[in-house]
Structures are given as C-alpha cells and as structure tokens.
Chains A and B, each alone.
Chain A
Amino acid sequence: MTEIAVNKSLIRCSDVNVYYADQQALFNINLDIKEKEVTSLIGPSGCGKSTFLRCINRMNDVIDICRVEGSVIIDNQDIYDSEVDVVELRSRIGMVFQKPNPFPKSVYDNVAYGPRLHGRILHQSDLDLKVEKSLERAGLWNEVKDRLKEPGTSLSGGQQQRLCIARAIAIDPSVILMDEPCSALDPIATAKIEELIDELKSKYTITIVTHSMQQAARVSQRTAFFHLGKLIEVGDTEKIFRSPDHEQTEAYVTGRYG
C-alpha cells in the first residue's frame, strides 16, 4: 500500500463539466489518476463514467453535440488547450473499447497500424519486433504467432480484445483507457484480460470503466464511484469496497442499488 501512496498523479481533472446539447452529463468532476496503477470507474448505467473516460483522450470531440468544460491536465498540459494537437494527444493514449473492434486487416497490420501511422518505426525488422513485443505483452503471441497474416476479425472474441490491447500498447502510450473491455467476453476470456491488466500496470497507467464490481475489486488499486453525472467518492479500492464514506457508494457496491 505504501508504494501506491508514493505514485504521483499523471492526470488531473478539475471542474470537468460535459454537456450533450442542453443535457448536462457530468457535473464538476475533480479526479486525479495516479501513475502506474489501475483506476476503475464504477457506477450504474448512464452515470457518465464512459463520458468521463472519453474526456481523457478527447474522443468526445467526435460527437458534434458534445461540449466539454474544465481542464484535464496530462504531463502539465491542459489537453483542452486550443494549441493541443488532438492527433498527437491520442498517439500518447491507448484506448480499448467495449466491443472488440480489430480493423479488418491482418493480425500483424492491426498491431503495426499505430507505429506505422505515427512513423515512429522505420525499419521492417524493428516493426516485426514491436509487433511481437506488443502481442507478447498482450498475452496473445503464442496463440497467433503462426497466424499473423490472418484477418484480425477471424480470432475469437477474447483474442480480438487482446489484439486490441496489443494494438493500443504498440504505440507506447503512457495511459491506457479501457471502456468495459470484458463486457462482451466469457468468464475465461475475462480472467485472461484481468490477468493482463494486472501485468500491464507496471508499465502503464490504466483507467478502466467496468460494470462488474468484482472486476473493479480484483484489478484496481483505486476506484471512483459515479452517480448521475457526479463523482460521489474516490479512494483506494479496498476502502471503497470495505468502508465507503458515502451511503450511496455502499448501497451500490453491496448490490443493494444499481
């Protein structure tokens, strides 16, 4: 536990308000995400946890009617500053989605897409190595090393999701955002992904949105509970699940609510 306390905040969110047209989705969120640990965002459906996650890599920009106020500071820079290049920002943040969404390309090309896109790796042999490393880190290498040329969409659901994780870590992000990465997977595949998240946290800062309380308890060091667009409580996962400060949090984590 002491080690966790030493970790400094990588992402500082202050007074984040998000609106979909006239509808306010997030209210004054102040949340720090610490380096090299797993922060889980929990809460009932529609509480704004995914919306918050998408604020961190500005994926909300894609939605025309969405408006974000407040500041999200990553590496001492407010990412909502007008001079921030969104494309550059996203090249530092990996994202894994709810439904596995590999590109309809080969396994190899899926993983090599990011490095190629950002032109960071120039030699083919380096790229091969990068793909291998990323797949290894995603725990997929042994399963796909002979099928690198097959389409990524031909893998099983759990493998596809790990491929998406490999694709995300191939760009060496400092942060990985995961939006309910296991909700479309069976328990075995879920267990594999959770194991993977546990390993990845030594290198990456991970923020995960999840519907499963057990998952949050298993994989995360810190947990933030959202309700109706407000951040109710944030703290060490153990504390949130054992003795939360708020009654609402307790009701939710014990299953009496939500």
Chain B
Amino acid sequence: MSNQNFKKRHRAEKRFKAYGLISIVAAASMLAVIISSMAYKAIPAFNNYTLNLEIDMSNQSSNSMIEDINYRGLLRDSLFSLFPEIEDRSEKRKLSKLISSSSSYILQDFIIENPSYINKKFYFNVLFTDDSDLFYKGYVDTSLPESERRIDDDEVLWLEYLYSLGRVKNKISSNLFLNGDSREPEVAGFFGATIGSLITIFVTLILSFPVGVFTAIYLENFAVKNRLTDFIEVNINNLAAVPSIIFGLLGLAVFINFFGMPRSVPLVGGLVLSLMTLPTIIITTRSALQSVPPSIREAALAMGASEMQVVFHHLLPAALPGIFTGTIIGLARAFGESAPLLLIGMVAFIVDIPGSISDPATALPVQIYIWADSPERAFVAKTSAATLILIGLLILINLVAVILRKKYEVKW
C-alpha cells in the first residue's frame, strides 16, 4: 500500500515538471512567433531602391547662391530626359512623383557639402517614393484592378522601363537608423526618437535614483515607525500600481499647466517618468536593504559604527546589486512607456534630432505609436523595425542588470 503511495507521489512530481516545461515551451514559442513575424515585416525597412540620375549643373553660374539653385527642377529635367516621349504636363507631374520629394533636399545638402560639383555633370542616386519602392520590393500586386492599387498601369510601365535601363539600384539604407521622423516613409528614421528616449531616461535616472535610494534608506533605517510612516508606505506601494497614464495627466496638470514648463520636452518627460519609477526604486531598495542579514548590522553597531556608517559601510554595499536591479527594471519600464508621454506632448511630429533636455522630442515607443498610426504602407515595416530595436534595447538593459547583479553580489 505504501508502495502505491510512493508511485503516486512520483507520478505527481513528473506531472508537475511536465506542466512547467510545457508552459515554458509555450511562452518561448509565442515569443519566437512574435519576434520572427516582426522581423519578417521589418525586412523592407532596411533597404531602399534608388534611381541613378544624371544631374547637369554645367549651366549654373558659380556665383549664384547655393540655396537659390532649383534642385527640384534639376532632378525633374534629368528624369524627364529619360522619357522624351512624355510631353503632357499632367503626365509629367505624375512621372515626377515617382521619386521622393525629399530628393531635392538631399541633393541640396550634397551640393552644400561638395560645392565643387557646381558646373559639372554628375550621376546622383535619388530615392524613390515609398510606393515605387514597395513596387520594386514586390509588395504591389499588379494583377489587382488598377483602382485598387497605389501604382497605376502607367507608373508600372515607367518603373519597369527605368529598371530595364539599369539605373535602379537596391541599396542598404541607414535612413532608419540615422534620420529623424519624416512624412515621407522612405527617409523617416527613429534616430531622433532614440535620442529623445535616451535624454528622457537620463533625466529619469538622475532624478529618481538618488531620491528613491535615499528615501528607501531613510524609511528603512531612520524613520520612526508611526502612523505617518505607515501611511507613506501604503502610498508608495499604491503609487507603484497606478496606471502610467495617470502620471501623464499629473505631469500635464502640474508641470505644464501649473509650473508652465514647455510641452514635448524630455525634461518634463523625465520628470513624469521619474514619478512613475520612484515607487519601484524605493520598494526594491527597501527590500534589498532588508535582505542584508541583521547580524551584519548588529556587528557593525557593536563595533561602534554610527547608524549612518552602518548604512554606508555595510548595508548599502551589500544591497547594491538589488538596488541596481530594481533601478534598471524601473528604468526599462520607463523606457518602454508611451502613455504618459502622449499626454505631455511628446507625441508631436518632430523632425529634428533633440540636443538637450529642453528641445522638443519624442520617444521610441511613441515613435512606434505614431508610425503604427500612419496610413502609408511603408510605415508598417518601419514600425516593426523600430519595435525590434526597442525590444533589443530592453534586452540589453536587462542584461546589464543581470551582469551588475552577478558582479556585485555578496556571498554570506
């Protein structure tokens, strides 16, 4: 009978292990599905088709202002020269829309940097618009009726003709990584948003780490235990569970409306995210301090260390790995946060790369939100690519947390 009992217990053990294994496999495969579908969708974001055009600047007098040159005209003339049979104005306009409207600015920047090209004839690669680009990438189904696709039959003929000329090249594009946002998907990038995120997180770290750690130390080691401190503790724990959008509302009401701080700036974003991160840091720091064996505290006190020396010589060094982990987890959460930033205006369309805490900026998660909301098909790839980068950065941050914890771990 007892033998039967043992068998039953072993079976239960095996079942339990199997359940655990199944759930891990299920979770891992779901993650794999998400990541791989994202990666598949993101592929078109990493290259652009370009058109090699011959730019004739030999007629430009060298004393004309660089800014005054009609770059748009130059590009159009070059494009039209490839289609001499097209003379109709509206057809010409349609033709010129095959290439990105940002091309003229890119050409202008190129000439400003290399003024020696004035008076010369040279070849220059210009970007296609997102729709032409997607056509080359095979995302336009030409079997559909003309009215149901973004590229009509004329345009299909033109694009195929250009391709047959050997002037179309598929190039790996760094636009996604090095540019700010743009209305034109072919030049839009998340560099501005990433920098905005980093500045915001930096502000968050600077504000929330010292305040959070010192609050935790004070509450844990110095504060008298009474109703007031109990009340504060309940509130801190409660704040950790408050939905992030509430912090955004608070930031809008207090920092922007009451204190008159500017909208859309990383400073306010950092302030709001600090409010959100503080409870996490305080709670994890307190539990890290609590996990230091009381015998160490007693030993130090008995040696004649003051309360403050006990904290700084013994408790804090031993609690450091826990504090780092808590802070990094809090910051990672703040890094991936979009809702509070929407409310304080960091959802604005910002082309420039922010350079300081008071420059208008957006953040990476908000950039993803903006792109996901955009109607252009090419933004789908951009959204997926930016999401992958965000996930990658978060993995990196958490990896740092693990490494720091391992490095500073104290063995008793």
Binding site for B on A (CB under 8 A): 57, 59, 62, 64, 87-91, 93-95, 97, 99, 101-104, 113-114, 117-118, 151, 153, 164, 167-168, 171
Which residues between 280 and 299 of chain B lie within 8 Å of chain A, taking CB atoms? 293, 295-299
Interface status of B356 (Cβ within 8 A of chain A): no
CB pair A151 B411 closer than 8 Å: yes
A59 lies within 8 A of B301 (CB): yes
- Given A64-B225, A101-B293, A104-B412: A59 and B305 within 8 A (CB)? no
Q: Least Cβ distance of A1 to chain B in Å?
A: 33
CB contacts (< 8 Å) of A168 on chain B: these are 302-303
B297: chain A residues at CB < 8 Å are 62
Pair A101/B306 contact, Cβ less than 8 Å: no
Bound: A89/B301 CA distance, A:
11
> How long is the Cα–Cα vector from A117 to B313 in the complex, in angstroms?
10
| Contact call A87/B304, Cβ cutoff below 8 A | yes
The interface residues of chain B lying within 8 Å CB-to-CB of A167 are: 299, 303
- How far does the alpha carbon of A59 sit from the alpha carbon of B303 in the complex, in Å? 11
A57 touches B305 (CB 8 A): no
Contacts A59-B298, A59-B301, A97-B299 aside, 11 further interface pairs with beta carbons under 8 A come to: A62-B298, A89-B304, A90-B302, A95-B299, A97-B302, A103-B314, A104-B410, A113-B303, A113-B313, A151-B411, A167-B303
CB distance from A113 to the nearest CB of B (A): 6
Smallest CB gap from B318: residue in A: A104
The answer to whether B306 touches A87 (Cβ under 8 A) is yes
Kindly list the 5 A-B residue pairs having the minimum CB-CB distance in the complex, ordered from nearest: A91-B304, A95-B302, A90-B304, A101-B295, A104-B410
Residues from chain B with a CB closer than 8 A to the CB of A64 are: 225
B62 contacts A by Cβ under 8 Å: no
Bound state CA distance, A89 and B297, in angstroms? 17
Residues of B contacting A89 in the complex (Cβ-Cβ under 8 angstroms): 304
Q: Which residues of chain B are within 8 angstroms of A103 by Cβ–Cβ distance?
A: 296, 299-300, 314
Q: Is the CB of B299 within 8 A of A117?
A: no
Most buried by A among B299, B304, B309, B318: B304
Q: How far is the CA of A45 from the CA of B200 in the complex (A)?
A: 58
| Docked pose: A94 CA to B300 CA in angstroms | 11
Task: Note all chain B residues with C-beta closer than 8 A to A62.
Answer: 297-298, 301
Residues of B near A102 (CB, < 8 A) are 299
With both chains docked as a complex, state the minimum distance between the C-beta of B283 and any C-beta of chain A, in angstroms: 22
Contact A59 B304 (CB under 8 A): no
Instruction: From the candidates B225, B309, B317, name the one contacting A117 in the complex (CB within 8 A).
Output: B309
Cβ contacts under 8 Å, B306 to chain A:
87
CB closest residue in chain A, given B314: A103
The minimal Cβ–Cβ distance linking B252 to chain A, given in whole angstroms, is: 42
In the complex the two chains form, what is the Cα distance from A88 to B304 in whole Å? 7
Min distance, Cβ A108 to any Cβ of chain B, angstroms: 15
Q: Are A101 and B314 in contact (CB under 8 A)?
A: no
On whether the beta carbons of A87 and B305 are closer than 8 Å, the reply is yes
Residues of A contacting B296 with CB < 8 Å? 101, 103-104
Mark each residue of chain B from 258 to 277: 1 if its CB lies under 8 Å from any CB of chain A, else 0: 00000000000000000000
Considering the chains assembled together, what is the distance between the CA atoms of A88 and B314 in angstroms? 19
Nearest chain B residue, comparing its CB with the CB of A110: B299
Measured CB to CB, the nearest residue on chain A to B310 is A62
Q: Which residues of A contact B295 (CB under 8 A)?
A: 97, 99, 101
A113 to B309 Cα, complex, angstroms: 11
Closest to A99 in B: B295
A117 near B293 with CB under 8 A, answer no
Q: When the two chains form their complex, are residues A101 and B298 in contact, meaning their CB atoms are under 8 A apart?
A: yes
A89 to chain B, nearest CB (A): 8
Q: Point out the residues of chain A lying under 8 angstroms from B318, CB to CB.
A: 104
Task: Report B64 CB to chain A, min CB distance, Å.
Answer: 74
